[in-house]
Amino acid sequence: MRTLIYLFIGILFGITLFKSEAASWFRIYEMFRFESFHMYGIIGTAVGMGVLIIQTIKRFKITSFYGDSIVFTPKNKSVSRYLFGGLIFGLGWALAGACPGPMFTLFGAGFTPILVVILASIFGTFLYGLVKDKLPH
């Protein structure tokens, strides 16, 4: 039953991404050229909502739908890991024209060339898993 719920939420998320044009290569291109506020508005709204929701979960100790407590573990806040990770993510996003969420949305909408990007991202994730322990913390 959980799988069906997650599948439904994923399909709803994909439809939202596609209809809001967040999966549009042209919208992403406009964003990186600072020609349009469209994507910045979507990203800013998502970040703002994320902050509000996380703070609400922490303040009221909200549990998951299944009654499990939600635990927030502190993260290493070194600047270099976020700087390099952000640069790699941003370069991949700019080169591919899609970040991970819209990649699957585009494939689901019938844009089959995005399959090359999906396979490359899976391979990149695999490589990261191989070298993760060798990277400085």
* Of 13-27, 72-86, 101-115, the least confident: 72-86
Domain encompassing residue 12: 2-36+74-134
In a 3-state reduction of DSSP, which class is residue 69?
strand
Quick check: is 60 in a domain? no
**Count of beta carbons in the 10 Å neighbourhood of residue 117:** 19
Quick check: is 86 in a domain? yes
Quick check: is 54 in a domain? no
Which of the two residues, 44 and 70, has the higher pLDDT score? 44
| 1-11 per-residue burial string, b: 16 or more CB within 10 A, e: under 16 | eeeeeeeeeee
Quick check: is 46 in a domain? no
Quick check: is 65 in a domain? no
Quick check: is 96 in a domain? yes
Domains identified in the chain, total number: 1
Q: Letter for the amino acid at 54?
A: I
Quick check: is 59 in a domain? no
Task: Grade residue 137 by pLDDT with cuts at 50, 70 and 90.
Answer: low
Distance between CA 5 and CA 72 in Å, rounded?
24
Contact 97, 28 (CB under 8 A): yes
Mean pLDDT of the chain: 89
Contact 25, 32 (CB under 8 A): no
Quick check: is 66 in a domain? no
* pLDDT score for 127: 94
Average pLDDT over residues 3-26: 91
pLDDT in tens, 78-93: 888 889 888 988 888 8
* pLDDT score for 94: 83
Percent of the chain with pLDDT over 70: 99
